[in-house]
Structure formats: structure tokens, C-alpha cells
Amino acid sequence: ADIENLTKQSPGRLIVLDFFAQWCGPCKNIAPKLEAMAKEFTTVEFAKVDVDENEVSLMHGNS
């Protein structure tokens, strides 16, 4: 989902963005934990951002 649309659709909700890359080992290690948290904390919006596919990662200081 587009981050701007996500924030508009979820006003007042906590949003957790997972900046990841397909080739990143630590990203793969944390993915199951984030998925479990998303199931447990249903009032929190979780979203993934592929840093290799999305320019938004640069706007948030990730490369």
C-alpha cells in the first residue's frame, strides 16, 4: 500500500513500517516476529516497504 494512503486510511492509529530487502538476512529473521505482532496487536497497522522497490525508504533515512 502507498504510505500516504495508509496514513490517510488510518488516522490516529500507530503504524509500524518494516523497511526490508529480499536479500537481507536480518530482515528475514525478524519477519515472523512482526507477523506475530500484527496478529496480536490488531489496533496497530503494520506495513512492509521493500527498500529496493520503493523510493519512500530514502525519505525516511534508509538506503
pTM for the full predicted model? 0.71
- Residue 20 CB neighbours (<10 A): 20
63 pLDDT higher than 70:
no
Looking at CATH, the fold of the domain delimited by 3-59 is given as: Glutaredoxin (3.40.30)
Catalytic residue status for 27:
yes
Residues comprising the chain, all counted: 63
Higher-confidence residue of 13 and 2: namely: 13
Separation CA 16–CA 60 (nearest Å) = 13
pLDDT tier at 55 (50, 70, 90 boundaries)? low
> Phi and psi dihedrals of 40, rounded to 5?
-75, -45
46 pLDDT higher than 80:
yes
Q: Which helix (H) or strand (E) holds 32?
A: helix 25-40
List the chain domain ranges. Answer: 3-59
Q: What is the DSSP letter of 53?
A: T
Q: Which one of 21, 24, 31, 34 is the catalytic residue?
A: 24
Q: Which one of 6, 17, 21, 27 is the catalytic residue?
A: 27
* pLDDT (tens digit per residue) in 8-39: 887 888 989 999 999 999 999 999 999 999 99
